[in-house]
């Protein structure tokens, strides 16, 4: 593969992306919203309009911050990864605890998993704040998670992980269980499964929720929140005057701000080039299929993950329509990673992943059957761009000198640059509460005790990653370091 793509400029989001199922129909209240004329200034400029941006803005405005906030989005509001993902709020609790404890130790791993588990309740609270109709539109629901194994080794690994997990989380004992091959095949209709882990998860219509929150905040805080869609930030400069520390350049003009917040995920390194190779784009594939007439799980209360020897795909079902949302499909393990890592365009789909996903369900499930008359098997298919970080952890906090041009160093009291990005494909279980923690940092409040220390950006962390990158950047080892497999 051309490994140089791992250290290249991710550029701005594509102007004409594939059409996401979640964005049909578009939210007419905010889709192309912008001021008649770009405001000359604001106190906080947030670049991006996905989960982390929405959360940061929501926390700022609802916790007493009285300044003006501008949200600058390159395309339509919530048109990036949040509006294109698989729609699951799914903590891979056992797997995450296992991989993080090996790298960071037991205490850090426990804190990260507990942090991730906060997200369903936090998102539910926000969805309910929109009222009964808003909550209904968000399609938020708890699901039973079914993670199927197709080899004895994978099942044995699951059993070991569950035992270690329950020893560390006695208060969660019994929330997950292992079923053997007979039950996995008979109860869950999964052909050839050697077993499965059964637990808890959630599902949501992410685009509807985030755009509804933005619309509600715009209505509630007139004159203090400015949503500026189709306003890509092309560069950020430090001002010499004390009134506003930064100038953000856009095709619509310049807006000045005291603080700049980068919720830019895969496109972060375009404005912050020192993140090239540290936050790297990765393309994912999602599609919506109609179930075969013999498929019985029409309740929408299950979320499935299928662990193959060299790949993973997942699905859940829309309880109202019966539509199945299916994502993943990357095959070949590390050898197949070149099909997605370093890819920055959501205007193109992955043919390999799309081909695999389109036929997977008929092969996996015991009872599937033909598609009902007058229905198409595939209702929608699109791609989305995630951002893998080199150390597989998000970056949250004030940007240190090592991450920005030395001429742009700021101070929290007088103006600074901040980041909330690098969620490595797990934004729905990390981004909302990271935005809450970031908003509190911006306003000078203490970082909450529930926030993982390893998510915080620091000079030391950036220096270590830059040193690592100097040795492996743009090579197979670089790809290997970015690659992650649950």
Cα gap 251→262, rounded to integer Å: 18
Q: Which CATH number fits domain 3-84+207-280+390-482: 1.10.357.10, 3.40.50.300, 3.50.50.60, 3.30.230.70?
A: 3.50.50.60
Q: Where are the domains of the chain?
A: 3-84+207-280+390-482, 141-202+281-389
pLDDT of residue 285: 95
Report whether the peptide linkage leading into residue 93 is cis, meaning its omega lies within 30 degrees of zero: no
Q: Which residues of 130-151 are buried (b: 16+ CB within 10 A; e: fewer)?
A: beeebbebbbbbebebbbbbbe
pLDDT of residue 313: 87
- pLDDT over 70 (residue 1): no
Q: What is the mean pLDDT of the chain?
A: 93
- pLDDT over 80 (residue 300): no
Radius of gyration of the chain (CA): 22
pLDDT of residue 104: 97
- pLDDT over 80 (residue 408): no
pLDDT in tens, 424-458: 999 999 999 999 999 999 999 999 999 999 999 99
pLDDT of residue 412: 66
* Residue length of the chain: 486
Task: Give the range among 109-118, 153-162, 176-185, 366-375 with minimum mean pLDDT.
Answer: 366-375
pLDDT of residue 307: 82
Under the banding of pLDDT at 50, 70 and 90, the label for residue 298 is low
175 burial (CB, 10 Å; 0-12 / 13-18 / 19+) is middle
CATH of domain 141-202+281-389: 3.30.9.10
Concatenated DSSP letters of 271-309: H-GGGTTTEEEEEEEEEEEPPPTT----SS-EEEEEEET
Task: Give the range among 159-163, 190-194, 283-287, 311-315 with minimum mean pLDDT.
Answer: 311-315
pLDDT of residue 367: 83
pLDDT in tens, 365-406: 888 888 878 778 899 999 999 999 999 999 999 999 999 976
Cα gap 286→323, rounded to integer Å: 13
pLDDT of residue 299: 62
Task: Give the range among 9-18, 233-242, 457-466 with minimum mean pLDDT.
Answer: 233-242
pLDDT of residue 343: 94
Cα gap 292→442, rounded to integer Å: 50
Cα gap 266→106, rounded to integer Å: 29
- pLDDT over 90 (residue 339): no
Task: Name the DSSP class of 345.
Answer: -
pLDDT of residue 407: 65
- pLDDT over 90 (residue 415): no
pLDDT of residue 171: 96
């Amino acid at each position: 593969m051309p490994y140089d793509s791992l250290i290249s400029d991710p550029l701005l989001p594509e102007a004409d992306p594939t059409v996401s199922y979640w964005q049909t129909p578009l939210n007419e209240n905010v889709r192309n919203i912008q001021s008649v004329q770009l405001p000359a200034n604001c106190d906080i400029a947030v670049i991006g309009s996905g989960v982390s941006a929405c959360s940061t803005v929501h926390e700022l405005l609802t916790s007493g911050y009285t300044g003006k906030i501008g949200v600058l989005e390159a395309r339509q509001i919530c048109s990036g990864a949040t509006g294109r993902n698989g729609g699951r709020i799914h903590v891979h609790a056992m797997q995450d605890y296992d991989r993080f404890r090996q790298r960071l130790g037991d205490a850090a791993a426990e804190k990260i998993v507990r942090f991730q588990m906060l997200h369903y309740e936090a998102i539910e609270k926000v969805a309910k704040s929109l009222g009964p109709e808003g909550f209904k539109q968000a399609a938020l629901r708890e699901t039973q998670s079914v993670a199927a194994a197709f080899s004895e080794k994978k099942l044995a690994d699951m059993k070991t992980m569950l035992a270690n997990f329950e020893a560390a989380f006695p208060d969660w004992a019994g929330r997950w269980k292992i079923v053997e091959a007979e039950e996995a095949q008979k109860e869950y209709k999964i052909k050839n499964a050697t077993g499965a882990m059964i637990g808890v998860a959630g599902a949501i219509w992410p685009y509807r929720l985030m755009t509804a929150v933005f619309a509600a905040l715009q209505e509630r805080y007139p004159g203090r929140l400015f949503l500026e869609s189709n306003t890509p930030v092309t560069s950020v400069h430090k001002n010499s005057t004390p009134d506003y520390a930064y100038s953000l350049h856009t095709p619509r003009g310049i807006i000045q701000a005291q603080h700049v917040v980068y919720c830019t995920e895969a496109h972060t390194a375009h404005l912050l080039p020192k993140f090239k190779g540290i936050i790297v784009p990765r393309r994912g594939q999602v599609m919506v299929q109609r179930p075969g007439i013999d498929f019985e799980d029409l309740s929408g209360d299950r979320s499935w993950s299928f662990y193959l020897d060299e790949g993973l795909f997942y699905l859940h079902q829309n309880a109202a329509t019966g539509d199945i949302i299916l994502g993943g499909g990357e095959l070949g393990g590390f050898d197949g990673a070149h099909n997605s890592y370093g890819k920055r365009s959501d205007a193109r789909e992955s043919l390999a992943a799309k081909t695999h996903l389109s036929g997977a369900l008929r092969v996996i499930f015991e009872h599937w059957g033909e598609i009902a008359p007058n229905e198409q098997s595939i209702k929608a298919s699109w791609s989305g761009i995630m951002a893998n970080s080199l150390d597989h952890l998000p970056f949250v906090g004030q940007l240190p000198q090592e991450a920005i041009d030395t001429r742009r160093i700021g101070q929290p009291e007088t103006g600074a640059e901040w980041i909330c990005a690098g969620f490595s494909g797990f934004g729905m279980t990390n981004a909302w509460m990271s935005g809450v923690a970031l908003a509190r940092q911006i306003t000078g409040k203490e970082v909450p005790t529930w926030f993982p220390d390893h998510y915080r950006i620091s000079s030391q962390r950036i220096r270590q990653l830059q040193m690592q990158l100097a040795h492996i950047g743009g090579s197979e080892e670089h790809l290997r370091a970015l690659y992650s497999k649950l």
